[in-house]
Amino acid sequence: MTSENTELSHPGRNDLRLTDVLFALSDPERLAIVRQLAGGPLEMAQCHLSDPSIPKSTKSHLMKVLREAGIIRNEPFGRGRRLSLRYHDLEARFPGLIASVLSACGVESDAGQPGSPAGKP
């Protein structure tokens, strides 16, 4: 049977709400996830939480909050899922915001995203 893996719903770029984005980013654990994704997409299984003993239902919920705020994309990938930062959408809707948050939490503005922050012309 070819019964496509669960497609989760993502808000469209224009439906992103600033307060929801800020809220999702306001949790240390979620922010740490975003930091990891700043380097490029990651399989969920390779995206680690600060405490490895946290149950998967909790991890899934953290991802849900980020996804529903429009911060990350969560798509089927092989037997698991692939997570990615919706950098371009965030940048388009809230220019400079995600870049300043990343830089504030110690992400070297480098490669990883399309129209990344400044740094290398």
User: Which residues in this chain contact a copy of itself in the complex, by CB under 8 A?
Assistant: 18-20, 22-23, 25-28, 31, 93-97, 99-101, 103-105
Among 10, 11, 39, 59, binds DNA (CB under 7 A): 59
Q: Which is nearer to a copy of itself, 84 or 103 (CB)?
A: 103
Q: Which of DNA, a copy of itself, none has residue 59 at its interface (CB below 5 to 8 Å by kind)?
A: DNA
The distance of Cα 16 from the centroid of its chain, to the nearest Å, equals 13
DSSP line for 24-76: HHTSHHHHHHHHHHTTS-EEGGG---SSTTS-HHHHHHHHHHHHHTTSEEEEE
Tell me how far apart the alpha carbons of residues 101 and 9 are, in angstroms, rounded to a whole number.
25
Binding region for DNA (CB under 7 A): 1-6, 8, 23, 27, 29, 43-45, 54-65, 74, 76, 78-81
